[in-house]
Structure 1
Amino acid sequence: MKLIIGFFTAISLFIGFANAAVEITDNNGILQGYKDLDVNGTKYKVSFVDGNCSEVFGVCEASSFQFQNLPDASSATDALLGAISGTSFNDNPETINGCENEDNEEQCLFYTPYGIFNDNGTPSINLVAGQTDGTTNNTSNFGDLIISIADSQLSDVTDVVWAKWILDFDNGFINILPKRIKTRSKKPIAVAILGSQELNVMNIDVSSLMLGTAPVKKKRIIFKDINKDYIEDLIVYFTPKKSGIKKGDTEACLTGQLNSGELFSGCDSIVTTNKYRSYKKYKW
């Protein structure tokens, strides 16, 4: 049985919306995660990702986790179990990414970690357990099982699947221009991150921004209200050749983090082409 360890990091950008969580599945119907999953009024996007802690998150330390106490970690785990409960994934846990190759298993066991510091100052990562049960269609009392392990030990854990939680900037927060991208071009393309009442773009760690695998061009950073809503927006530039965008791709995604450490991502539609249309033709 594989462990699905949930890493939660987010910010309350979508408070007030009551949309149900949206399932993310692959072409084979395997559950990859959820969008718009509500945890105490905050919306999250979660993806199940293979790899060890360091590979998935870059840094594997108690301070890396969003939750620093049991109640918050339990609420997050409960929300994920609630989304799965009553669906075919609950009855057939092998259709959850990471558990699909587990023969003769009726449950998919997963954990939500939260970082704490012991009385002697030593950091550790505690895990709140949750499980699906294809036989009873019930979720477990996850609060009954608490596991504590050292940072160094967690880095060595391999045969697991992580639930990686990030803030989702879809639905118009990201605007890529030009839309027609020559994949091997060295000429930059622009990405605008639109500010709002909930998002202050000044709180974005610009150095963390990536378009695919392309790092941000740090010498071309512009703060400007481009959509005339009297709220500052952020314009940054990337080199298509370094982005990993391939011919035929219809979407490109930006990732990054806020100064407070919360991760986010956002995508926009594109068209790949052999003809380059200069970003200079677009006036923000």
Structure 2
Amino acid sequence: MIAFSTSILSFSQEPDWEKLYKESQKTEVYEPVPPKVDAGKCYGEPPSDAVVLFDGTDLEKWTYDNPENSETWKVENGIMTVNKKAGSLTTRDSYLDYQLHLEYRIPENITGEGQSRGNSGIFLAYLGLDETGLFEDGYEIQILDNYDNDTYVNGQVGSMYKQSIPLANAARKPGEWQTYDIVWKGPRFNEDGTLKSAASVTAFHNGVLVQNNYELKGITPWIGPPSYRKHGPSPIRLQAHGDPSEPISFRNIWLREL
């Protein structure tokens, strides 16, 4: 009984706070100091350190496949709309690691089914045309109307095309604005061209996690297995797929280099 009472007394003693504080300071870190960034006042508004790729006024940060074509992508009321005659749209600058925000809208009167229903995509790193010269080469996250439209699951919206099935289908109705928030880390290569570290992607579609730090097995080709080839920073590309569906619109595109 005496021993039990002594044990209670020992636990009720006041801790040596000065000693504890000194111990805690051994694991405190003060450098490097993170840079200050002014966040947007509301969701989707670019922060102070963002590279604004499209603010609704012009396409100066982009280039067309067919620049001699007078029928460029249409910019009106803060929105740009696909014109397949002008080809896909590619950033003039190249990027390696970044956080990307993008908003898009599939027309309310969309027609077609399967892959022919609002088909587009974002090439998170665009490498040019493949060896045949016919198909786009790079790492594509899919844009497609899958609100009430079935297709192969590694080709629906939110997928890393033909490679990674999305964790959820968060598609909104055609006619409604939809969002992508993506964190992209480009691959690294050794001097001899072998892969040093894989590309990875985390993506939220309409606020829902659809890719969770997925490590890619290579590019996302339409035909054949994925593979890597050595490259560095690459442009971002918005696809003008060319299907008969009504054109897709985009707005408020910005990124933060990481």
The TM-score bracket by the shorter chain reads under 0.3
Higher relative contact order (CA 8 A, sep 6+): 2
* Bigger-Rg structure (1/2): 2
